[in-house]
Amino acid sequence: MLNLGSIEVTIRKVSHKCVLEYVRKFKDFETVMSIYLKTAMQQTENSHLKLKATNSFHSLLMAETKYFSHDFDCSKPFLEELIHSSHQKEYSEIRRAALITLIFILRLQGVEKNISQLSSQAEN
């Protein structure tokens, strides 16, 4: 996962391809999502890795939407991280990538359902 932050484009592409193949073979999107969150998305000191991981996750999500679920344990923290990243003033590229990914996730099952789910979880 850390290779997604490489300056070498080829290394990033191979790393992304490996993750994509893992999801396709094992149909385990939740593990991959959790690793994205812990290893790359919550990075504060490596903005390049955070940006590339956000873009990679969005691409993975578009390719294998059928394996994604809002019921994963890491879904809420992942959405919260995207919301947080979408408010970063110093990194406009990260902000843009987070917003695009967040909008895509929210549209998967309808914006209203996702917002009500997030709201009900926030109240608990």
The domain limits of the chain are 2-123
Q: What angle do CA 61, 67, 73 make, to 5 degrees?
A: 90
pLDDT value at position 108?
82
pTM metric for this prediction: 0.83
Q: Cβ(21)–Cβ(61) under 8 Å?
A: no
In whole angstroms, what is the distance from residue 77 CA to residue 7 CA?
27
pLDDT one digit per residue (tens) for the chain, 124 residues = 778 888 898 999 999 999 999 999 999 999 999 999 998 888 778 888 899 999 999 999 999 999 998 889 998 899 899 999 998 888 899 999 999 999 898 888 766 666 666 666 555 5
Report CA Rg, the chain. 14
Tell me if 89 sits within 8 A of 61, measured CB to CB. Answer: no
